[in-house]
Amino acid sequence: MADSDRAIELIDITKTYPGVLANDGVDLSVGLGDIHAIVGENGAGKSTLMNILYGMQSPDSGIIKVRGDEVSFGSPKDAIALGIGMVHQHFMLADNLTVLENIVLGDEPTKGLQLDFSFARDKITELSEQYGMPLDPDAMVEFLTIGERQRVEIMKVLYRGATILILDEPTAVLVPQEVDDLFNSLKELQAEGVTIIFISHKLDEVLSVSDAITVMRAGKTVATAVPSEITSHELAELMVGSELPTPETGESTVTDIVELAVSGLSNYHSDGRIAVDNVSFEIHQGEIVGIAGVDGNGQTELVDTIMGVRHAASGKVMLSGVDISGDDTKDRRTDGIGIIPGDRHRQGLLLDSSLWENAMLGHQTTAPFEKHGFVDKKGAKKRTGEIVERFDVRTPSVDVSAAALSGGNQQKLIVGKEMMAGPKVLIASHPTRGIDVGAQAAIWKELRDARAEGLAVLLISADLEELIGLSDTLLVMFDGAIAAELDPANVTPKTLGSHMTGVEVEEAS
């Protein structure tokens, strides 16, 4: 491939952090107008490489070429000036602003000394039509679906003139119908000459949409393949040395003992809109109850209410036959409810604190983290070491900061600290979001083993295969209410996605 045919060429890129060799002589070549996927385990160096390409990090050594010209970036502003845009896995939108205001934020158009939103509105409309990405410029972001929010993020970089687009885990939170819409949009962008690089852990999707796939492992590029010449199992083997795991639970372990009972639970948003609408369900010992739903349909508020973070307007929460509706969050934790939060960075970790300090979160008043009213540092470090060993958290020390770990290892630390606390009920909210197949398999195994030992699990996930494979009972939330109860043994992701989006289909009925 000649330089004129390459959108991006990274040559011998090396990047080291304290104690970690993130990129070790990485080479990457992306053709102009191609959709190029990058796959690999968490910690393989994918995000570091893309952060270097976007100017968020500087390489220790190596060469960056954009459209054949050697360049260096001091900041993302330099990358944007060369037409490179990046959409991060965790959206960076302001809920209290409109679509238009979010898109132009930091690059507001002016006419003289005045803001010129009419110019921005016209440009957004033009780009929406050009790339087949319909958006209402005046819609408030807080009312958008996840798929629409992602569209806004993509439009932000297109508005700034991006012709090389980096997408980090673009399908992680989308239902199948939204994935189809996204891939249609990517094909439209490609038809208009846009080059797309995307990071993903969903290998079947990678194979369906990519022109080329680069596999990274342990900071190195180990292979670049054409989708028609490789299978998902072969890709997985290149990534982690084994075939793709499956989330199957095997035979039922559900008992007659109800561990968590939620009845008639309701609450409201601050503006008076219903958030949780008369929700009732039970979870037995040895049972995984899955809840499916497009983000924003009450799942987060339901979890917050069960945990006592939000007060219920009506209804009850019973734990092991005891009414805990009036208990605070600390008491509910002490009584035996564990939680894997949906957003590990905002709710699960103190990124600048050590691993042993993070392992204490939510359990700091109980052994082995507390002794005679004080923090037991020795006990905390010992327990953290046990978590690191059992859950294969890859770290040089329990003293390093959580920020030094890859996303998958951060997630394994959170899962480990909750499960080793011995809860009666575990609320697992998106437990494998944004992690690689190896870490995913480890977490699935821990959930299956704990279920077999009698743990009651409430599983909330955007991964429909995960929900169907792990759940004994499957509920769907829509507009804050339980809209359907389905048998995981007889439901397809397509049917489940239709229930989640409120679409009635013959198969579902």
Q: Give ∠ CA 103-299-504 in degrees, rounded to 5.
A: 85
Residue showing tokens 């082995």? 368
pLDDT at 67: 94
pLDDT at 242: 61
pTM across the whole model: 0.68
pLDDT at 116: 77
Element (H, E) at 191: helix 176-191
Q: Is the pLDDT confidence value at 506 over 50?
A: no
Are the beta carbons of 123 and 51 closer than 8 angstroms?
Answer: no
Total Cβ atoms within 10 A of residue 86: 22
Range of weakest confidence among 33-42, 78-87, 142-151, 223-232: 142-151
The more confidently predicted of residues 236 and 480 is: 480
Query: What band does 509 get if pLDDT is binned at 50, 70 and 90?
Result: very low
pLDDT at 306: 96
Q: Is the pLDDT confidence value at 412 over 50?
A: yes
For 127, the token pair is 């780009």
What gap in Å lies between CA 391 and CA 407, rounded to an integer?
A: 14
Q: What is the DSSP string of 432-497?
A: TTT--HHHHHHHHHHHHHHHHTT-EEEEE-S-HHHHHHH-SEEEEEETTEEEEEE-GGG--HHHHH
What is the overall mean pLDDT for the chain?
88
pLDDT at 405: 86
Q: Is the pLDDT confidence value at 234 over 60?
A: yes
Query: What band does 1 get if pLDDT is binned at 50, 70 and 90?
Result: low
Q: Is the pLDDT confidence value at 502 over 80?
A: no
Q: Is the pLDDT confidence value at 507 over 50?
A: no
**118-122, 237-241, 315-319: range with highest mean pLDDT:** 315-319
pLDDT at 243: 60
- Average pLDDT score over residue span 321-344: 93
What gap in Å lies between CA 16 and CA 387, rounded to an integer?
A: 26
Sorted by where each starts, the structural domains of the chain and their CATH numbers stand as 3-240 (3.40.50.300), 255-336+424-509 (3.40.50.300), 342-422 (no CATH)
* Predicted confidence (pLDDT) per residue in 162-218, tens digit: 999 999 888 877 777 778 888 888 998 999 899 999 998 778 888 999 999 999 988
Phi, psi of 290 (to 5 degrees): -95, 140
Residue from 377, 389, 386, 482 nearest 442 by CA? 389
- As a whole-number percent, the residues of the chain with pLDDT over 90 amount to 55
Q: Is the pLDDT confidence value at 241 over 50?
A: yes
Q: Is the pLDDT confidence value at 88 over 90?
A: no
pLDDT at 497: 82
For 430, the token pair is 């998106």
Query: What band does 244 get if pLDDT is binned at 50, 70 and 90?
Result: low
- Average pLDDT score over residue span 297-311: 93
The more confidently predicted of residues 322 and 96 is: 322
Q: Is the pLDDT confidence value at 54 over 90?
A: yes
Range of weakest confidence among 38-42, 234-238, 245-249: 245-249
For the chain, helix, strand, coil in percent to 5 are 35, 25, 40
pLDDT at 508: 40
For 307, the token pair is 């945990």
Range of weakest confidence among 30-39, 408-417, 435-444: 435-444
Are the beta carbons of 172 and 434 closer than 8 angstroms?
Answer: yes
The more confidently predicted of residues 21 and 35 is: 35
Contacts of 282 (CB under 8 A, 6+ apart): 258, 260, 261, 262, 289
Are the beta carbons of 8 and 33 closer than 8 angstroms?
Answer: no
Query: What band does 302 get if pLDDT is binned at 50, 70 and 90?
Result: very high
